[in-house]
Amino acid sequence: MNPIRYQSPNFTPCTCIAGFDMDWTLIRTKSGRIFPKTPDDWTLWHKHVAPRVQALHAEGYAICIFTNQEGVSKGRVKAEDLIIKFIKLSTALGVPILCQAATQNDGYRKPHTGMWTLLETEWKATHGIIVDRAKSLYVGDAAGRPSHSESKRKKDFHDADYKFSVNLDVGQFAVPEECFQTGEPVPDKSTWTLHTPEAFVPAKFVSTLDNDPETMPTIDPAMAALWLCVGPPAAGKSTFCATYASNVVCINQDTLKTRAKCMKQAKAALATGKPCIVDGTHRDTATRAHYVRIAKELHVPCYCLWFDRSKEVAMHLNALRMLTGGPRVPTVAMHTYFKRAEHPQIDEGFTSVIRVPWRARFTSEEVRALAGQYLV
């Protein structure tokens, strides 16, 4: 679904964009609540907002707002109320603006770059204007900053705005305190989530795992054995089955719907003296025990194929799959998996536990480039 859009009647596209998040960047609630109580529960974030935006407009920047508004798709916000807010915001700022609101968890929602690239495509086709990202800027409050005790400021709820700017490679990113020169202290960028030692870096992830030296496990189609996949959603289990076990009976609970049906098919396949592979998350020992027991009853080995992926990697791959036309597992399901997951152990009854490396198989250079962006 395309983003909701409002464009002031006298708005003019330019080669340079001054992009802004909306909530808690250009505006804040009058009530002090995180989310507005009513459509009119807002005021400009700081007294310097309008003068600064007007100065940027005078310098030749196109003033564009990029905001995530999933509340529209969830029925908490009316689209018509959002448009009215955009119109009133243009008046409060004193300049013509173009506003876009991503209402779904899709390629338009920040940190995905769909809203920005949509403008670039349209402006080039309609006006012959090519946006100069290097001379453009973006301002947003979701930067992944830690809490600050002196100012009693809480940590940022997310880092989507900063990731959005990194994905676009704009010339400058600023948080509201910097852009509007409020005098409030801003934590050093080295402490922001993107720059901490444990930070997930998509570009590094793609280049490293694309050349992973570990070999893929081989399944002998002539040897009766039960192969059990273990790992989070979007970890590559189904792709492995289709690529490396295409000549083996593959049993998928997403297709069969129940574990009972999967177990019945596994027994039938093994009874023929052939191997079978069971595709599923199988996150805990109790779930895996059902299949280990089948293997013992039929006197065949039981191998665990462990798709050992961190939550950050799994969430990234889940978003990549959605953006390239595949299904998306709900975020709550991802969190639930990692909250309850138990690492497989050989003493559960497995013949061996085999770690399956991730293999980057990109269908195009465009998909490879997308995989190197921040997607969550």
Average pLDDT, integer, range 281-291? 96
Shared domain for 353 and 233, answered yes or no, is yes
Does residue 214 fall inside a structural domain? Answer: no
pLDDT score recorded for residue 361 = 75
Residue 319 domain-assigned (yes or no) = yes
Same domain, 43 and 189: yes
Least confident range from 76-85, 199-208, 315-324: namely 199-208
Q: Are residues 183 and 60 part of one domain?
A: yes
pLDDT(209) > 70: no
| CA nearest to 143, candidates 174, 114, 119 | 174
Contact 22, 89 (CB under 8 A): yes
Q: Are residues 143 and 41 in the same domain?
A: yes
User: What average pLDDT score do residues 267-280 get?
Assistant: 93
Report the number of distinct structural domains present in the chain: 2
Q: Is there a contact between 201 and 174 (Cβ–Cβ < 8 Å)? A: no
Section 231-251 average pLDDT = 91
Q: Is residue 376 part of a domain?
A: no
Does residue 157 sit within a domain? yes
C-alpha distances in angstroms, 321 versus 97, 107, 341?
34, 11, 22
Domain end (from 178, 195, 212) = 195
Question: Residue 210 — very low, low, confident or very high, per pLDDT cuts 50/70/90?
Answer: low
Q: Which residues, at least 6 apart from 30, have a Cβ–Cβ distance to it below 8 Å?
A: 41, 42, 43
Residues 190 and 234 in one domain: no
Q: With 60 as the cut, is the pLDDT of residue 278 above it?
A: yes
CA-CA-CA-CA torsion sign (14, 19, 23, 28): negative
Q: Are residues 105 and 190 in the same domain?
A: yes
221 within a domain of the structure (yes/no): no
Contact 36, 71 (CB under 8 A): no
Is residue 165 located within the same domain as residue 234?
A: no
Asked if 283 and 177 sit in the same domain, the reply is no
Q: Do 187 and 237 sit in the same domain of this protein?
A: no
Residue 280 resides in a domain = yes
> What CATH number did the domain enclosing 251 receive?
3.40.50.300
CATH number of the domain enclosing 15 = 3.40.50.1000
318-372 tens-digit pLDDT: 999 999 999 999 999 999 999 999 999 999 999 999 999 887 778 899 999 999 9
Flag whether 328 is in a domain: yes
Find the range with the poorest average confidence among 70-84, 281-295, 328-342, 360-374: 360-374
Q: CB–CB of 108/73 below 8 Å?
A: no
Domain for residue 209, yes or no?
no
Are 40 and 188 in a shared domain?
A: yes
Question: Is 185 in the same domain as 250?
Answer: no
Same domain flag for 161 and 240: no
Q: Which domain holds residue 307?
A: 226-371
pLDDT at 212 over 80: no
